[in-house]
């Protein structure tokens, strides 16, 4: 994992827990805003990622574009005020390792579009803070930062 681009932060996932930083477990880059603020205690993080390094796809694959469209079209709207934040999980400037949706209360996780790529695991977490959801329709990433983070 190389230098962090502006707007990115490290997050580690060992299959059971999430930790800020690069270890222990698999290291991802997330939208830094999700970890930069007053955390929501006891939030529910739906982690659609695996600890296996082989679980990786290009951000530009059509299916990875489509789940971002689905998030904008209906997933974020369905969550409403329950949403704390959402971030994709980047491995570097071009590769997708998953996504995390964080809510205040449990929701119908079976509807999570990101679970179509990698299966979801529910993790209780005190790490994440409230971030305004992406406005859309932009699904591209800004300077390699995990969508929807970053800006020019």
Q: Which residues bind another protein (CB under 8 A)?
A: 69, 72-74, 76-77, 80-81, 132-133, 135-140, 142, 151-152
Residue closer to another protein by CB (options 5, 49) is 5
Measured CA to CA, the distance from residue 124 to residue 95 in angstroms comes to: 26
Question: Minimum CB separation from another protein for residue 131, in Å?
Answer: 11
* Among 110, 147, 128, CA closest to 38: 128
Alpha helices in the chain (DSSP H): 62-70, 76-79
Residue closer to another protein by CB (options 64, 76) is 76
| Cβ–Cβ under 8 Å, residues 34 and 151 | no
End-to-end CA distance of the chain: 23
Residue closer to another protein by CB (options 34, 123) is 34
Residue closer to another protein by CB (options 69, 104) is 69
Question: Minimum CB separation from another protein for residue 108, in Å?
Answer: 16
Question: Minimum CB separation from another protein for residue 90, in Å?
Answer: 18
Question: Minimum CB separation from another protein for residue 33, in Å?
Answer: 11
Question: Minimum CB separation from another protein for residue 67, in Å?
Answer: 12
| Cβ–Cβ under 8 Å, residues 112 and 46 | yes
Residue closer to another protein by CB (options 43, 123) is 43
* Other beta carbons within 10 Å of 133: 18
Q: Which residues pair with 122 in a beta bridge?
A: 46
């Amino acid at each position: 994992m190389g230098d962090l681009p502006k707007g990115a932060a490290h997050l580690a996932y060992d299959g059971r827990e999430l930790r800020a930083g690069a270890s222990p477990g698999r290291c991802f880059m997330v939208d830094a805003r999700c970890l930069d603020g007053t955390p929501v205690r006891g939030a529910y993080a739906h982690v659609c990622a695996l600890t296996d390094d082989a679980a990786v796809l290009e951000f530009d694959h059509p299916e990875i574009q489509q789940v971002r469209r689905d998030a904008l079209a209906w997933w974020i709207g369905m969550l409403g005020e329950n949403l704390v934040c959402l971030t994709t999980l980047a491995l570097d400037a071009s590769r997708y390792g998953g996504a995390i949706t964080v809510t205040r209360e449990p929701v119908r996780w079976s509807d999570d579009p990101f679970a179509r790529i990698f299966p979801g695991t529910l993790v209780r977490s005190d790490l994440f803070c409230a971030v305004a959801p992406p406005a859309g329709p932009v699904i591209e990433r800004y300077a390699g930062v995990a969508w929807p983070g970053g800006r020019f």
